[in-house]
Amino acid sequence: MDDYDPDSLPADVAIAKIQAAIKPVIGFETLALRSALGRILYMDIESSINVPGYTNSAMDGYALSGQALPSDGEKPFRVVGASWAGRPCLQAPADNECVRIMTGAVMPPCTDTVIMQEHVKLTGDTAFINSGHKTGQNVRRAGEDVTAGQTVLHAGVRVTPAVIGLLASLGIGEVKVRRKLRVAFFSTGDELRSLGEPLEAGQIYDSNRYTLFGMLTRLGIEIIDMGVVRDTREDVVRAFNDAADCADVITTTGGVSVGEADFVKETLEKIGKVGFWKVAMKPGRPLAFGSVKNAWFFGLPGNPVSAMVTFYIFVQPALRLLSGEQPSKAIQLTATCRSALHKSPGRVEYQRGVYQSDGRGFYEVRKTGAQGSGILSSMAEANCLIVLPLECSGVKEGETVSIMPLECII
């Protein structure tokens, strides 16, 4: 019965509610190409040029007209010139002539075919070419990668190394990207100490602000670290107001359940709007979603693993949408479970696992040890979350499970 709470929202309903509520932030900035790495394109990108810009050779070899190729036997061709990448040959070879050509060089006039040099016998300035070659072979046509006027990238695409390269190949040195999302975050808890401070009895180091720093920074977000906020009504209210004045999104950890010192939900009710505050999942039942002034609000649980898992499942997809990124579904893979997993039905559970290839083209996964929601060491060892659906009542060794690879999350 511990696992059942009639007021909790199913996890997929909670995700749908968040996605239905939010819209990308307005605003863009224009950046030099390299600075745009990891950012989100603000508009579609059209090419003003063909890539490649001219028809050229895909091989080192000999260029000729396909019509001159022998239909059987071997035919001699006199080599009448050479075309280098960046130094074209302007001479059109006659029917019994060819032009030496290097990879990337412009095709000489009246040629459409390249014979690889490995397939040619060269004696003096005569190239002997066999039958069996095809007209048009080993040639890269102008515009075969991109044609002028074509939309090559859409708004909402994250700028990856390949995207930067594609933009450079189009001669585009500056791009418009969405402005960075601003996320303010703070930890709540009288027991929390910052790094460098000595720990007294009953005190712990604040680790949530470090995991949040990591998860937010990897998303390319402008972070506003507001430190630790004490468990008093006044301190929590002040922190909410300060955060809402400077950020698009507020993320807190701790103080969101129903203990005597939990002021997060109460404050959200008082000065903001509550969308929901409990989700049927483990780890992480208390999870407040709502808004404060113009900022979206996510109140994550205090337990370190619950804070991370709820961030990955709910907050990260929301931040990506708010950042203007095209929506995409989290990647789930199927793996054979090499550990027995305990679970009661009634809520979705995310257990920490390590997955690897089984050497036969499939994946296998084992759990990383104790699954308590405060046990960060088993999270640090994990490279995936094992997703156990609502109705699942445990997994036997050898059964198939769904996993969400953590490094694919972004």
Interacting residue with ligand AMP among 88, 220, 290, 302 (CB under 6 A): 302
Considering the complex, state which of residue 136 and residue 227 has its C-beta at the smaller distance from ligand AMP: 227
Q: Minimum distance between the CB of residue 259 and Mg ion, rounded to whole angstroms?
A: 7
Q: Footprint of ligand AMP on residues 252-281 (CB under 6 A)?
A: 253-257, 259
- Residue 155 or 280: the one with the smaller Cβ distance to ligand AMP is 280
72 vs 260 by CB, closer to Mg ion:
260
- Report the residue number, 303 or 351, with the smaller CB distance to Mg ion: 303
- What CA–CA distance (Å, rounded) separates 159 from 167? 10
- For residue 165, the tally of other CB atoms under 10 A from its CB is 11
What is d(CA 65, CA 53) in angstroms, rounded to the nearest whole number?
21
CB of 407 to ligand AMP, least distance (A): 23
The strand pair at 113-116 and 61-64 is best described as antiparallel
* Structure tokens that stand for 391 in this block: 């109705």
Strand partners, 286: 278
242 touches 226 (CB < 8 A): yes
284 binds ligand AMP (CB under 6 A): no
Query: 371 touches which of ligand AMP, Mg ion, none (CB within 5 to 8 A by kind)?
Result: none
What's the per-residue H, E or C state across 330-367? CCCEEEEECCCECCCCCCEEEEEEEEEECCCCCEEEEE
Residue 260: exposure state from Cβ atoms within 10 A (0-12, 13-18, ≥19): exposed
User: Does position 303 bind ligand AMP by CB under 6 A?
Assistant: yes
CB of 259 to ligand AMP, least distance (A): 6
Q: Which does 405 bind (CB under 5 to 8 A by kind): Mg ion, ligand AMP, none?
A: none
Among 61, 143, 254, 301, binds Mg ion (CB under 5 A): 254
Angle in degrees, CA 5, 11, 12, rounded to 5: 140
Instruction: Please tell me whether residue 189 binds ligand AMP under the rule CB under 6 A.
Output: yes
304 binds ligand AMP (CB under 6 A): yes
- Taken in order 319, 323, 329, 330, is the CA torsion positive or negative? negative
**Looking only at residues 299 through 328 of this chain, which bind Mg ion when binding is defined by CB under 5 A?**
302
Contact in structure between 316 and 42 (CB atoms under 8 Å): no
CB of residue 254 to Mg ion, shortest distance in Å = 4
Q: How many CA atoms lie within 13 A of 152 on its CB side?
A: 25
User: Would you say 178 or 209 has its CB closer to ligand AMP?
Assistant: 209
**What one-letter code names the amino acid at 320?**
R
Residue keyed to tokens 């939990």: 262
Q: Which stretch binds Mg ion (CB under 5 A): 87-95, 106-114, 174-182, 294-302?
A: 294-302
Tally the C-alpha atoms within 13 A of residue 295's C-alpha that lie toward its C-beta.
Answer: 25
Least distance (Å) between residue 232 CB and ligand AMP = 13
Residue 199 binds ligand AMP, judged by CB under 6 A: no
- Give the residue among 292, 293, 295 at the shortest CA–CA distance from 322: 295
Q: State the binding partner of 169 from Mg ion, ligand AMP, none, CB within 5 to 8 A by kind.
A: none
Min dist CB 300 to ligand AMP, Å, is 9
User: If binding is defined by CB under 6 A, does position 192 make contact with ligand AMP?
Assistant: yes
Out of ligand AMP, Mg ion, none, what residue 109 binds, judged by CB under 5 to 8 A for its kind, is none
Could you tell me which stretch among 103-111, 156-164, 202-210, 217-225 binds ligand AMP (CB under 6 A)?
202-210
Alpha-carbon distance 168 to 173, whole Å? 7
Q: Which residues bind ligand AMP (CB under 6 A)?
A: 187, 189, 191-192, 204, 206-208, 253-257, 259, 301-304
Q: Which residues bind Mg ion (CB under 5 A)?
A: 189, 254-255, 302
